[in-house]
């Protein structure tokens, strides 16, 4: 309960108070900065430094390599395949999953008898872990013993044909991300002030008009957040590949982080892997920064 009026105006106290005002914001920041520094930046800086060394199979950097790891990376055609796959995949997943979750959130928000049911139902995909979901989908989308192809009377080898594998993963991840996006969209939609909606009703706006001109702008901060998360998640997707397709068939599902992971843990090629992680950081960071350029234009803050 410290207040400006309660402090006496002696020079010492004033000085102390000024110092306190200067450092106060940092007191709020320090916990976050500390953990981020220790568990994210410290390892990452080590990784960056190591990417300029030859790393042996025990993971120890023992000889300076200059840019050799990076050259090896940029000369490897698999790297470019991975970039293409990750971008293509992100393009498939981001608009679809955001649009789908938004529609679901809007529907769940509309007054109906099943509000509570829909809210819980649409959240549930979030509760399933990636490995379990992968097992379920593997069984469901199996071209011979899977239900999906049997019922639809088609024989698309979802995860074993290089043309369909990335699409299969996209379907899988869209399903998985429904819960998370829905959760935050719903919170944001519910938070739109009722009086604004009511005045729109009085002015005679129908549901679609209300949604486009009022709800969406007012939830745009959340929309922007989910958009950024979706981009990052898409570009850095790896777990489903590890469980379902293992990068194949024919490198069609080798994504950037999957390549990084296998080069390190399976091939013992740590130098390549570290160089790749730095490159991934640059690529995704750049795209994120670009997104923030649009923040000023598209996002409306109260």
Partner 1 sequence: MAKRRITAMILCGLMVFSLAACKNGKEDTSPASPTSNSAPVTLTFWHAMGGVNGKELQKLVDQFNAGVGKKENITVKTVYQGSYADLMPKFKAAEQANNTKILPDLVTIPSDSTGYIKDIKQTVWAKDLFEKDKNLNQKDFLANSITQFSFKDQAVGIPFACSTLLMYYNKTAFKEVGLDPNQPPKTIAELGEDAAKLYKTNGSKVVRYGFELEPGWYQLTSWIGMQSSNGNSYSFIGDNRSGRAGTMTKAVFDKDGTMKKFLEAYVPAMQKSKSKYTGNSDQSDFIAGTNAIYISSSAAINGIATGVGKKFEWGTAFVPKVNADDKGGAAPGGAALYVMNRGNDSAVNASCKFIEYLTDPEVQVDWCKNTGYFPVNNKTYDLADFKQYLSTNPYFGVAVNQIKSSNLDVQEAICGCSSAINTIIDNNIASAIAGKIDIDTAVKNMATDTNKALDDYNRANS
Partner 2 sequence: MKKHNGTMEKKGKSYYITGIITIILAIIILLPIIYCFFVSFMAESEINSYPPKFIPKSLYFGNYIQVLCGTLLGRFSINSIILALFATVARIVIACTSAFAFSFLDFPLKKFFFFLILASMVIPGDALIVTNYLTVTSFNLMDTYLGVMIVYFSDAMYMFMLRQYMKSIPPDFRDASVMDGCGNFRFFTSIIMPICKPITISVFISSFVGLWNAYVWPLLITNTPEMRTIQVGITMLSTDENTAFGATMAGAIIVLIPTIVIFVLFKEKIISGVTAGSIKG
The listed partner (partner 2, partner 1, none) that binds 269, CB under 5 to 8 Å by sort, is partner 1
CA distance 90 to 125: 20
C-beta separation of 145 from 156 below 8 A? no
Q: Which is nearer to partner 1, 61 or 102 (CB)?
A: 61
Q: Which is nearer to partner 1, 160 or 291 (CB)?
A: 160
Q: Which is nearer to partner 1, 144 or 206 (CB)?
A: 144
The listed partner (partner 1, partner 2, none) that binds 273, CB under 5 to 8 Å by sort, is partner 2
Q: Which is nearer to partner 1, 55 or 93 (CB)?
A: 55
The listed partner (partner 2, partner 1, none) that binds 247, CB under 5 to 8 Å by sort, is partner 1
Q: Which is nearer to partner 2, 13 or 163 (CB)?
A: 13
Give residues with Cβ within 8 angstroms of 106, minimum separation 6.
Answer: 189, 211, 215
CB atoms within 10 A of CB 9: 8
The listed partner (partner 2, partner 1, none) that binds 57, CB under 5 to 8 Å by sort, is partner 1
Least distance in angstroms from the C-beta of 129 to partner 1:
15
Of 252, 250, 274, nearest in space to 261 by CA: 274
CA distance 44 to 209: 47
Least distance in angstroms from the C-beta of 119 to partner 1:
25
CA distance 223 to 292: 13
- The dihedrals phi and psi of 53, each to the nearest 5 degrees, come to -125, 165
C-beta separation of 121 from 107 below 8 A? no
Contact residues toward partner 1 (CB under 8 A) are: 54-60, 72, 138, 142-145, 153, 155, 157, 159-161, 246-251, 262, 265-272
Least distance in angstroms from the C-beta of 62 to partner 2:
16
Least distance in angstroms from the C-beta of 151 to partner 1:
12
Structure tokens at 196: 């604004």
C-beta separation of 174 from 100 below 8 A? yes
Q: Which is nearer to partner 1, 2 or 153 (CB)?
A: 153
The listed partner (partner 1, partner 2, none) that binds 88, CB under 5 to 8 Å by sort, is none
The listed partner (partner 1, partner 2, none) that binds 288, CB under 5 to 8 Å by sort, is partner 2
Q: Which is nearer to partner 1, 2 or 18 (CB)?
A: 2
Least distance in angstroms from the C-beta of 3 to partner 2:
5
Sort residue 269 into left (φ over 0), alpha (ψ -120 to 50) or beta.
beta
- Looking up tokens 């099943």 gives 114
Least distance in angstroms from the C-beta of 187 to partner 2:
4
The listed partner (partner 1, partner 2, none) that binds 232, CB under 5 to 8 Å by sort, is partner 2
Of 118, 111, 168, nearest in space to 138 by CA: 168
Least distance in angstroms from the C-beta of 239 to partner 2:
9
The listed partner (partner 2, partner 1, none) that binds 64, CB under 5 to 8 Å by sort, is none
Least distance in angstroms from the C-beta of 58 to partner 1:
6
Give residues with Cβ within 8 angstroms of 259, minimum separation 6.
Answer: 78, 79, 82, 247, 276
- Interior angle at CA 206, CA 94 and CA 179, nearest 5: 30
**If residue 110 lies in a helix (H) or strand (E), which one and from where to where?**
none
């Amino acid at each position: 309960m410290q207040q400006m009026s309660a402090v006496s105006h002696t020079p010492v106290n004033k000085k102390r108070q000024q110092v306190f005002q200067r450092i106060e914001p940092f007191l709020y920041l320090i916990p976050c900065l500390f953990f981020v520094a220790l568990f994210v930046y410290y390892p990452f800086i080590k990784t960056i430094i190591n990417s300029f060394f030859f790393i042996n199979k025990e993971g120890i950097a023992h000889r300076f390599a200059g840019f050799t790891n990076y050259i090896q990376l940029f000369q490897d055609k698999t790297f470019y395949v991975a970039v293409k796959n990750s971008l293509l995949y992100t393009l498939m997943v981001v608009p679809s999953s955001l649009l789908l979750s938004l529609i679901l959130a809007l529907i769940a928000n509309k007054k109906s008898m099943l509000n509570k049911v829909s809210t819980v139902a649409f959240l549930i995909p979030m509760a399933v872990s990636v490995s379990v979901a992968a097992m379920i989908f593997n069984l469901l989308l199996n071209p011979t013993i899977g239900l999906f192809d049997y019922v639809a009377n088609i024989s698309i080898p979802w995860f074993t044909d290089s043309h369909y594998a990335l699409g299969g993963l996209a379907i899988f991840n869209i399903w998985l991300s429904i819960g998370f996006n829905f959760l935050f969209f719903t919170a944001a939609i519910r938070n739109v002030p009722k009086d604004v909606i009511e005045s729109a009703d009085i002015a005679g706006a129908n549901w679609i008009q209300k949604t486009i001109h009022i709800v969406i702008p007012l939830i745009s901060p959340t929309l922007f957040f989910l958009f950024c998360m979706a981009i990052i998640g898409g570009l850095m997707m790896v777990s489903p590949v590890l469980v379902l397709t293992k990068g194949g068939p024919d490198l069609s599902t080798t994504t950037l982080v999957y390549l990084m992971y296998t080069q390190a843990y399976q091939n013992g090629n740590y130098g390549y892997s570290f160089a790749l992680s730095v490159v991934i950081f640059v690529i995704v960071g750049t795209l994120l920064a670009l997104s923030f350029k649009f923040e000023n234009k598209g996002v409306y803050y109260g």
